[in-house]
Structure 1
Amino acid sequence: MTVETRRTWIAPNPSISIQRQCHLAGVARATVYAQRPEKPLDAEDKVLMDLLDAQYTTTPFYGSRRMTVYLQNLGFRVNRKRVQRLMRTLGLAGMAPGPHTSRPHPEHKIYPYLLRGLTIDRPGQVWSTDITYIRLRHGFVYLVAIMDWYSRKVLNWRISNTMEAEFCVACLEEALQRYGAPEIFNTDQGSQFTAEAFTGLLQAHGVQISMDGRGRALDNIFVERLWRSVKYEDIYLRGYGHVPELMVGLTAYFEFYNSRRPHQSLGYLTPDQVYLTGQGGGACIVDRYPKVAA
């Protein structure tokens, strides 16, 4: 029996949870969520979320205060509490640390940031990951991607309509199977990445775990640049309506990004060329970033 067939068995049922159905059917829960129709949104919330996403892509240091002012200047009657709620839904937090930035699960271990001052001089030395919001005409989903920092190559990606850890773990498992284990894996402190299922998988492969400081979006700067590229070069231009067409579009875009898009920071080579040859890439992570004005 194929996975696709077994996935069709999964449906909301008051007597048995989706999680239990997936376990019994031997189906990854994240793949089921990715196939389910997007939940309808309040029309104005959807507009506000799209605006917040676009502005954050341009100014990741904007916290909820600045975002509230930004939306008010556009004519929306919103307060900071509503903006904070929408930013939590989007998984966004301003770069500058503060009392309302994203917090890890209180029972999850937090690991130190290992990259400050590090010279990255070979493929497979450092991988990182992050999640971003992807707007659709009829809803939204989340995208997770794993990147090799030396080459900027996108090693794997997945989408889901929840921010639960399962689809991140599945993405990591596939990347490890295809490319082996990196020396260091860097993430933010989101609960998806501090979960035992995620960190335990890394530890089982002998990977050192590094985590950004809370609210420091630019500690993961290369993935932030990837999100800007994906959104401005594909998502915002194409205006995908539903998950199936998004899947097709992202498959084509990441193939283009890795194999045919020259990168200025790589001397106009492609990530695939740099990853395969071990030449032309790299980075030196600065000791600290300048303070951002309030």
Structure 2
Amino acid sequence: MQQSCSCVGISRAAFYRVPKPATERDGHVIEALNKLMERHPRWGFWKSFKALRRTGHIWNHKRVYRVYCDLRLNLKRRAKKRLPKRIKRPLWVPQQPNQVWSADFMSDTLYCGKTFRTFNVIDDFNRECLAIEIDTSITGRRLIRVFERLRQERGLPHVLRTDNGPEFLSGDFVAWAEAAGMMIHYIQPGEPNQNAYIERFNRTYREEILSLYVFQSLSEVREITYWWMNDYNELRPHDALGDLTPADYMTRYTRNSTYEMST
């Protein structure tokens, strides 16, 4: 036994000693780290280690780091994504159709608890709802398909007003919008009032559809939303449009434009 221990490089006393569990062997280190992290949860290892040294603990930094990792305190904390500063501008009120569109996402759940998202697009000129795409996941490429469909139906806007969501910042969507000649106007982070038209639409859609029904499936959400969109555009009067519907407001604009051109 003595020869075996000398070959391995340990003493006989260490061989016969029963190893202590980690909670008992490093109990004092664990307790000190937990107390420190309760008060300063954002501190990293070296700041924590230096703070322990200042309080009189003389543990080796390797031992403290081993316990630090065992407690899973070394996991990378999720940081908030830094966004570029946006220039604060007043709300642009368009004077013609297809000048400015607004787009935004909403979320809700089915009766079974499954989450789904809706992608809403409106024309700020007459508050017309142009599209509501509904699915469990909507990516930047899915947005391209939605706008390609709208381009075939009525063209694209000069400006698309959105927030700073990852779908609107995706490389595929930004490159497509640039190639299509559609400028994306990002509002300032934390300033939803800069996208007031779509925010007001989202409130109406939630009150009249999402919060009113208990949906069993996505097909049910799509069907109810489809008929509601028709009523919203053709039957529902808007205070901001002089109690006209979006369809009536567009008809009046077209009639006035035709009359001005003829005269």
Q: Which TM-score tier does this pair reach, normalised by the shorter chain?
A: 0.5 to 0.7
The 1-side partners of 2:151 and 2:88 are apart by 20
User: 1:188 is matched with which residue: 160, 163, 168?
Assistant: 163
1:129 paired with 2:103, answer: yes
Sequence identity (%):
24
Q: Secondary structure at the match of 1:123?
A: coil
| 1:14-93 correspondence to structure 2 within 5 Å | none
User: 1:208 is matched with which residue: 183, 194, 200?
Assistant: 183
1:265 paired with 2:240, answer: yes
The 1-side partners of 2:216 and 2:95 are apart by 40
What's the CA shift string for 1:152-171, capped at 9, x where partnerless?
Answer: 00112211212422322222
CA contact (8 A) 1:103 1:189 kept: no
Q: Which residue of 1 aligns with 2:195?
A: 220
Describe the shift of the 1:208–1:121 C-alpha distance in structure 2 as closer, same or farther (beyond 3 A).
same
Q: Which residue of 2 aligns with 1:236?
A: 211
How far 1:179 sits from its partner (Å)? Answer: 1.2
Describe the shift of the 1:158–1:248 C-alpha distance in structure 2 as closer, same or farther (beyond 3 A).
same
Describe the shift of the 1:247–1:167 C-alpha distance in structure 2 as closer, same or farther (beyond 3 A).
same
TM-score, normalised to structure 1, is 0.55
Q: Which residue of 2 aligns with 1:158?
A: 133
The 2-side partners of 1:172 and 1:231 are apart by 23
The 1-side partners of 2:181 and 2:196 are apart by 24
How far 1:215 sits from its partner (Å)? Answer: 1.8
The 2-side partners of 1:129 and 1:212 are apart by 11
The 2-side partners of 1:235 and 1:119 are apart by 28
The 1-side partners of 2:148 and 2:88 are apart by 22
1:252 paired with 2:227, answer: yes
Computing the radius of gyration over CA atoms, which structure comes out larger, 1 or 2?
2
Q: Which residue of 2 aligns with 1:120?
A: 94
Higher helix share: 2
TM-score, normalised to structure 2, is 0.61
Q: Secondary structure at the match of 1:122?
A: coil
1:171 paired with 2:146, answer: yes
